[in-house]
Amino acid sequence: MHLPRCPCLTWRILGLLLLCGLLLMLYGSTKGLPGRWLEPWLGSATGYRIALDRVRWDPLEGILGENVRIETDTQQFRAWLTAAQVIIRINPLAWISGQTWLRQVRMHNGALRLEWAGTSAGQERTSLAIHNIQGNLRYRQASWQLTEFRAEMLDTAINCYGEMFFPPPQLATDNPNLQGWLACSGPVWQGVRMETGLVGFTFSDKLIQLEPLYVALTRGTSGGVLEGQACYHLETKDYTAQLKVQADPYCLTPLLNSNLVDWIRPWNGQRLEAELALGGRVDNEDALWITGRLAAGDGTYNTVPIKEFSTSISYAQDRLTLDNLYLARPEGALTGWLTTDLNETILEMDLSSTAHPVAIAKILGDDILAYLDGFHFEGQMRMSVRGRLDYETGTRTDLRAAIEGWEWGYLPWHAEHCAFNLALRQQDLHLTQLRGAAFEGTFSGEAAWHGSQADQASYTLQARLDDMNFNALLEGLGYTNQAEQAGHMYAECILAGALREGRLQASSGGGWIRIQDGLYQLHFLGDFARLLNTLAPRIGRISLTDFEATFSLNEQRLTTSAARLSGPQLAVHGQGHYALDDQLAFIVWVRLPERFLLLSSISQMTDALPFRLLAFRLTGPLANPQWWPLNLTQEQLRSLPTDLLIKMPKNILLDLPRNVLVTLPQEVLVTLPRELLVTLPREVLLKLPKRVLIDLPEELFIKLPQDIRSSLLPTPKRRSSERKKGQ
């Protein structure tokens, strides 16, 4: 029988198969199989284009693929994965039993490149590259666990781990989605480090959803936390997110749009808190939109202290809107809404504020702060502003405001209280319903400014002043040592002119002024007091308490035809003009006050000239006024001091009668104009120094009396002239 041989044959066959298997395993572990033998099968099994140089089997590691290249390509999306080595571990028993047989995938020196097509024709494709991938993916309990993932992306290192839930590729037809979670730490991008990152995700062929999302960031000593969810559309490249943020703005600025950075960077203080919804497109920075709410505690913005801040925010197309705005400072708060185009210099607003105006202006920026140059604020302010402000050119400015404040003003002006309505359109500024209190009195009126250039700005002003302390007003305007000008002023005027270097320069207008209960000592009036005391020595010390005048302004001249400075003893009347180049030209006369018919001290003055005719000419600058007497009698003229007569304008001397001229002292006569000198009587000329006559010009010398000419030492030229005259 041959049966006993069967077991031997069987064992021989089994041994041969085992030997072949061992040889195959030895070959597979040493030489391996060419990749092209497996590429068709791998492509059909996975749905991807797969290429590799060689496949080996390692009893310890598993299946090793060398220089692996995997590619997928759709109309909108392309991906390339390359790796120097991919190691796959399998479980044959699980495959026999119909379970997931793929247990582990490891990758060394990998690289992944993702590319999205543009959303419009002609738009460039967007790409993202990840380099130096070292990864380890394990399958355990129906999930894939990423136990190791190290790579470089955007010049920063990434270190991740996580878990994904999806079947292996050959079983993925029933569920194409990839779900899981991923934790990451360590990457640094533009100086911002991710300390902790945790995200749950769902990937499909068109959508990436991230929920929950938690990121802790640091930059230097600052930090922040972001929580929320996000969604990204692979085809359109659109993204949306809902986030809760608690962060120092310094930590976030490298991650934000450059225009937003300019608004956030000046904050220094407690962390900003935000609840935001945002969206955009990865290949279009201008597509970013944001809505939500911001809040912050103590801090500073542009170095301005802020106690509390909150606002609703809306941002799109570089247009930023802050609504339900609340900004608290120690002295008050700002509320309302504010809109600006970050590419332009336009602010649209509806704001109410009790905060310090300079603080609010500094928060809004130096361009806004420049509008407050020259203003000072020392008390509480209340204002509401509505409209549009073009803070660069002013061409699109259109604002309306109501302003009220205490202890504030502009340049030398200071008011205890001032309130008005303001309208600003382009370069035209109108103030209406102006009212307030200053210098112990009250004021009201209206004003308008036109133009902004220093050489083109003009103004109109209508004002009324009541019961103002005149001396305090002068000191407030920069005139010191004015104690003798005490009194209460009442005035009303309409003026128009130019604004130069912050000061009003009037060119036309008119009005009236009255000062009551003042104190005008005559010695303040300089030579006027000296003249009056000389002409009426018994008059004594005179006090002038009231002043009133009507005036008009035209061609840089302030003209009055009815000015009166009066007191219990006398009244000083005047008419004339004051040129704004600081030159006086007035005729002043002294009369009895209306309530007196006669004063005992005045009645003792000379009877030759009625008191009502005592007149003076006022000339010179305000700082050094010159007073000259008019229509004096011979006795009054002789009583004047010689030095005063010498300084007297010669045109006034020319008007004196001839019989008065001859009574003048010699010191005065020699100062007369030479045209007048040669007309003096012979007896006066004989008293003059000969040198004065000898030095006369030829045409005036020959007008002297002949005997006087002969008595002098004539020059040959003058002898010749006399000879010709004799012929």
DSSP character string of 570-587:
-EEEEEEEEETTTEEEEE
Mean pLDDT of 504-519: 83
pLDDT at 36 over 90: no
Q: Sorting pLDDT into bands at 50, 70 and 90, what band is 118? A: low
The tens digit of pLDDT for each residue in 53-86 reads 888 777 777 788 888 888 887 766 778 888 888 8
Q: Cα dist. 419→283, 358, 446, 566 in Å?
A: 53, 18, 11, 36
Cβ-contact 304, 295 below 8 angstroms: no
The tens digit of pLDDT for each residue in 488-502 reads 999 999 988 887 765
Q: Residue 521 has what pLDDT?
A: 54
- Cα–Cα distance measured from residue 391 to residue 370, given in angstroms and rounded to the nearest whole number: 9
Q: Residue 352 has what pLDDT?
A: 96
Structure tokens at 554: 């035209």
- Cα–Cα distance measured from residue 267 to residue 299, given in angstroms and rounded to the nearest whole number: 7
Structure tokens at 523: 């010695």
CA quadruple 502, 506, 511, 515: dihedral sign? positive
pLDDT at 572 over 80: yes
C-beta neighbour count of 329 within 10 angstroms: 20
The tens digit of pLDDT for each residue in 239-279 reads 999 999 888 877 877 777 676 777 777 787 778 899 999 99
Mean pLDDT of all residues belonging to the chain: 78
**Residue corresponding to tokens 């361009």:** 367
Q: Write down how long the chain is.
A: 727
Q: Residue 630 has what pLDDT?
A: 74
pTM above 0.85, yes or no: no
Choice between 518 and 218, residue whose per-residue pLDDT is larger: 218
Query: Quick one: how far is CA 336 from the chain centroid?
Result: 19
Structure tokens at 72: 């997928």
Mean pLDDT of 534-540: 66
Phi first, then psi, for residue 385 (nearest 5°) are -130, 135
Choice between 574 and 401, residue whose per-residue pLDDT is larger: 401
Q: Residue 171 has what pLDDT?
A: 44
